[in-house]
Amino acid sequence: MPTTLVHGTLNSYQHHKCRCDLCKRASANAADKYRKRRKELNTAVVSHGTTGYSQGCKCEICRTSNAARKYVKRYGITIDEYDTLLRSQNGVCAICSREPVDGQRLAVDHDHKTGKVRGLLCFKCNTGLGHLGDSLDTLKRAVDYLSG
């Protein structure tokens, strides 16, 4: 049985792209309510280290908690394995040997085909490799180019 759509309801505007003034206002009101609710959630007092609080929190507990979840999910390593790798690199980027900027963590560099973690890189080196497509041939041509 088809649903009866009523102009001025969010359902009518979103799903059928109606452009009448009533539907546009309903969509704007819904968006305002959504933004207000998100703002309330972000300012709510929730325990540190949980996803609800850590969305906007920059404290070390929430940052570490977020990093730990990300490393396990994306790269299959624990925060302790990350820290061990960081110590083995003396806390610097594996390519340029610079320390991370402004308390940022070094990025986990991995082989996109095998998923194997290669090391920790600063933002510039990590994105540089990414822009070169993780290709040794392209990187060698870049070295030749820079060498003159």
Whether 53 maps to a domain, the answer reads no
For residue 134, what is the DSSP state? Answer: T
Query: CB–CB of 59/48 below 8 Å?
Result: yes
Which of the pair, 43 or 88, is modelled with greater confidence?
88
Considering Cα of 62, then 53, then 69, then 102, what sign does the dihedral take?
negative
CA distance linking residue 9 with residue 20, whole number of Å: 11
Quote the percentage of the chain above a pLDDT of 70.
Answer: 63
Look at residue 71 and tell me if it is in a domain: no
Length of the chain: 148
Structure tokens at 7: 């102009």
State the residue range of the domain holding 111: 92-147
User: What CATH number is given to the structural domain containing 97?
Assistant: 3.40.1800.10
Q: Number of folded domains in the chain?
A: 2
pLDDT digits over 43-67, tens only? 554 555 555 544 556 666 666 666 6
- At 115, the pLDDT band (50, 70, 90 cuts) reads confident
Average pLDDT, the chain: 75
pTM, rounded to two decimals: 0.55
Which residues neighbour 14 within 8 Å (Cβ) at sequence distance 6 or greater?
27
